Chain A
Amino acid sequence: MNDMGLATIQYSRPQGAAGVSGPGTLVTLRFQALGHGATSVTGNVTVRNSRGLAVGSATPRLPVNLK
């Protein structure tokens, strides 16, 4: 059995507002370990500019080892 959890967050600037530039944290997630084993936290995001054009996307992944 493979239980997958999924957190979905939608971010957008207010309508008509200019986009932002520079580094920043999109989201901070806090987890509590429930069991042993290796798992990973994976992400998927598409970033768009103020014109609605996709300027990048990524699927980062962070392995987590629960001992």
Chain B
Amino acid sequence: MALIGGLTNLTDTVSKSGIPGLAGIPLLGRLFSQDSVERDRSELMIAIVPPPDPASGVQRRESAHDPGGNAGHHQVELCAPGGARRAGPAGPAAGTVPAAPRPILSRARRRQAEPRRRPPRHPIAGLPAPVSPGPPAGGHGNGAFPARQHGCGGRGGTFTVEMVLDGGTDVASASPVTIGFRSQAAQPLGCHRRQPVLEGWAATNSFEEHHE
């Protein structure tokens, strides 16, 4: 049985084993047979996150699950053209900005088997975990991790975001992936793919601007 609802895929596998003939005897047959139910629950998670800063040397940790797919109260802060570099405890370190925690994507894949139960799998396995220097402002307990920022000063800073996917099985296409932004505030400098898990995918990119 496979139930697909939204981003959750729940699969129950019922299997019965036993000694042929004896297992079919009413009542006594249960002594010679075994029933098992295996439940596989996977959640497909998609998020837009700032990537970790490799120079920080801090590894990201798992963040809270946000099935709504929204960044919630988290945000990236960076300098606009002519903006001053922030300093002090509340400000970002040079070249980085304290930013948003991993807003959206997280994966919780739990596999239960009866009578044997398996522990839940750690969400977002394989994805870099967010840095957690402290509780994020207005956050839900998600860790915050730095986003790279360059050119803070005369020119506007640059920042990088990633759309990440986790929990998918047999994923063959993701299209269209659309990323919207206010073009007066920021302009894209380019996009590319990084993770080898998606190697072999054919991609076409385009950038458009709409003026309303």
Q: Give residues in A with beta carbon < 8 Å to B.
A: 1-14, 17-50, 52-53, 55-67
Contacts and interface: CB of A to CB of B under 8 A. Distances in A.
Interface stretch (B19-27, B33-41, B111-119, B200-208): B200-208
B160 A28 contact: yes
7 contacts: A20-B168, A24-B166, A33-B83, A33-B159, A36-B80, A49-B170, A60-B71
Interface residues of B, number: 92
B179 interface: yes
A4 B177 contact: no
B209 to A, nearest CB: 5
A57 B178 CA distance: 12
Contact of A42 (B80, B107, B179, B190): B179
A20 B69 CA distance: 21
Interface of B: 4, 6-7, 9, 44-51, 69-71, 74-81, 83, 86, 100, 103-105, 107, 124-127, 151, 155-198, 200-212
A3 to B, nearest CB: 4
B186 A61 contact: no
Interface centre among A37, A48, A60 (most CB of B within 10 A): A60
A48 to B, nearest CB: 5
A10 B196 CA distance: 17
Contacts of B83: 33, 36, 66-67
A42 to B, nearest CB: 5
Nearest to A50: B172
A5 B209 contact: yes
A52 B183 CA distance: 33
Nearest to B160: A30
Contacts of B70: 59-61
A46 B172 contact: no
Contact of B194 (A2, A28, A43, A62): A28
Contacts of B51: 28
A64 B160 contact: no
